[in-house]
Amino acid sequence: MNNQSTDRNGNERRRFLDGLVSGTALILTGCALGTSTGRSNAESSSKSREEEVSPAEDLMREHGVLKRILLIYGEALRRIEAGEELPPQALPDSAKIIRSFIENYHEKLEEDFLFPRFRKAIRLVDLVDVLTEQHKAGRRLTDTTLRLTTSEAMEDSNERRNLADSLMHFIRMYNPHEAREDTILFPAFREIVSSN
């Protein structure tokens, strides 16, 4: 890819993230998260588009979306285990974001562009293989979560237990998964590619 195409894709990705974060800042309580700086979303969006970031840093920033969903999943898990009500759209909407943004976009970028570079350089190949398998397992868990967040399934106590298991497995896998990428894989990426 040339630099202009990379910049355009990065800017489009950041605009998407700004809208995604603004539009999905509900964490089961229905309360929108505000900014502590007092800047408007338009100012924040404009500033983030102007920033120059490396592809690895961009991927790390995208993990912020995953972290927010893990918080939602964690709260949903707590509520299921406590026998409390769940807002009906919070989980299916969160799982759809995981499917569309994390799995079909973010992980696809990793699998198509990042992981092959490590394999070609014969660096961290075992880690890349584990991360690839975890992506596959995550997609299966998302299938389960999407299937079990229908209104009918949420009324069945066995299905709620299965949903809780799916959420727990997803959280337990993706917390260390994301941490390994941020602290091991992405920093090492700088060593195997040129600054361009």
Q: What's residue 120's pLDDT?
A: 95
Spatial separation of the C-alpha atoms in residues 157 and 118, rounded to whole Å: 45
- Asked if residues 53 and 61 have their Cβ atoms less than 8 Å apart, the reply is yes
Q: What's residue 19's pLDDT?
A: 45
Q: Please give the DSSP secondary-structure letter assigned to residue 87.
A: -
Alpha-helical runs (H) found in the chain = 3-23, 41-50, 55-82, 90-97, 108-109, 115-121, 125-148, 151-155, 157-180, 186-192
Domains of the chain: 54-192 (1.20.120.520)
Q: What's residue 57's pLDDT?
A: 72
Spatial separation of the C-alpha atoms in residues 106 and 100, rounded to whole Å: 9
Q: What's residue 195's pLDDT?
A: 65
Structure-token match 């229905």, residue found:
30
Buried b (16+ CB within 10 A) or exposed e, 28-56: beeeeeeeeeeeeeeeebeeeeeeeeebb
The whole-chain average pLDDT of the chain stands at 79
Question: pTM of the prediction?
Answer: 0.72
- Asked if residues 28 and 86 have their Cβ atoms less than 8 Å apart, the reply is yes
- Mean pLDDT, each 10-residue run in order, the chain (196 residues): 51 48 39 35 53 70 90 95 88 95 94 94 96 98 96 90 96 96 90 74
Spatial separation of the C-alpha atoms in residues 33 and 54, rounded to whole Å: 27
Chain Cα centroid distance, residue 83 = 27
Q: What digits encode the pLDDT tens for the residues 16-59?
A: 444 444 444 333 334 323 333 344 455 555 555 556 766 667 77
